[in-house]
Chains A and B, each alone.
Chain A
């Protein structure tokens, strides 16, 4: 029974994968046809081949490397700062009920504030500099980590705390062995949301401050009507977003493998 079923299932899955690929190719073909027939002006919609040529050129010339690494570096630095600050502050607030009752409402009030709205404030303080970008990225992406950590620290299983006290565990050990691992699912979920926000803010601040980076690239491409370059830039940002999310998903699966 299982012998005959396994190849059947495999075949079905292969068939689906082929269909999914075919669908993607159809979309690409549609794009190509629309562009080739000039249904939309090439100023707005370049043929897919031109976009891939442009991407290939940038890769060969190495001209993609600088903006890509600049964007990634600013994003990563801001995100790392946000994660550290979010976990530390969130832990302090989450572990102390009085701190929670004094600070949580203020944090909840600040959460729906669009992160990009502090760009002008940051410009005021730091000028149009890298420090401005990193400050905006860090400030904007700190909230998901912070609030998730508060929640994670506040919802430690009370019975585990009793267990800890019956084992006479010291506060440091309780933090390291119980509270932090228990809050880890929340923290990682928060960090994933934060990373998406960090990428968005990296792109926006580059556009604002005319810094070298992928965001500035696509804005310049649009201003000079180089549509192939614009589409190539969007593609690269999509791949970057995808790669970052996959990396974190992988890390999450590895760190939280105990959750079955």
Chain B
């Protein structure tokens, strides 16, 4: 296994050791995840890629603290995960059901600034919302309702809301899976840039191998039934990456060849 961590700073922001989870009762009990162990360095962009049924989404829900593992431990900054925390923001795949349809774009972003431990004075809050809208190129639709926006724009709103939370860890569940190719590419580049600029630790789930290699500092390939680690590779392609050149880079193609069989074989 390759041990060089180009993207991270060297200290583990997230540690999984021996995590297992099963659903169902009695004879129908089925293992979803089996004995998963890996670290994510602070500031690292980790991509998890796997076929459907490998428990990707379940894994992300575990990291968010929405579900508890049956066995093993999950630690964030050396503290065990015991439930959801504002330090870990989650971007859901189904953007249409993850926004409040009765709030404007600005209102949805502000949601990330509300709640316990996030009491900003009104003026500061508005300023922060405006900054985030600017960052995600949403300023011109600030007063629109989600139903008036395209899927790509709705997903931008969701990302902006997650950034508003000022999380240490950004968890994304196939966020661009439902978007068309051009929109997907521009959002990929923006996310990659933002993650590095803001120094966020990112766990990004996808079923698209190329997307995983393109975005990640490291890629973990999961195998299905039950979900377990099949391979782990370091992506030593310098940033900023480029949609055309990176995808034609020899290292990119080599990784793609190396991992393709693993995904197709299952």
Contacts and interface: CB of A to CB of B under 8 A. Distances in A.
Given A159-B92, A159-B97, A258 B114 contact: no
A178 interface: yes
A163 B92 contact: yes
Interface stretch (B5-13, B83-91, B122-130): B83-91
Contacts of B112: 167
Given A177-B111, A259-B147, A167 B98 contact: no
A159 B98 contact: yes
Q: How large is the interface on B (under 10, 10 to 19, 20 to 34, 35 or more residues)?
A: 20 to 34
A173 interface: yes
Contacts of A163: 90, 92, 98
A160 interface: yes
A168 interface: yes
A184 B115 CA distance: 22
Interface in A214-260: 256-260
Contacts of A60: none
B115 A181 contact: no
A157 interface: yes
Interface string A148-184: 0000000001011011011111100100011001101
Contacts of B97: 157, 159-160
B115 A170 contact: yes
Contact of A170 (B83, B89, B116, B146): B116
A256 B147 CA distance: 12
Interface in A80-109: none
Contact of B102 (A165, A168, A169, A184): A184
B86 A168 contact: yes
Nearest to B65: A166
A160 B85 contact: no
Interface string B66-101: 100000000000000001111011101010011011
Contacts of B102: 181-182, 184, 256, 258
A169 B115 contact: yes
Given A160-B97, A169-B115, A258-B101, 20 more contacts: A157-B97, A160-B100, A162-B61, A162-B92, A163-B90, A163-B92, A163-B98, A165-B83, A166-B65, A166-B84, A166-B85, A166-B90, A167-B86, A167-B112, A168-B84, A170-B115, A256-B102, A257-B145, A258-B102, A259-B101
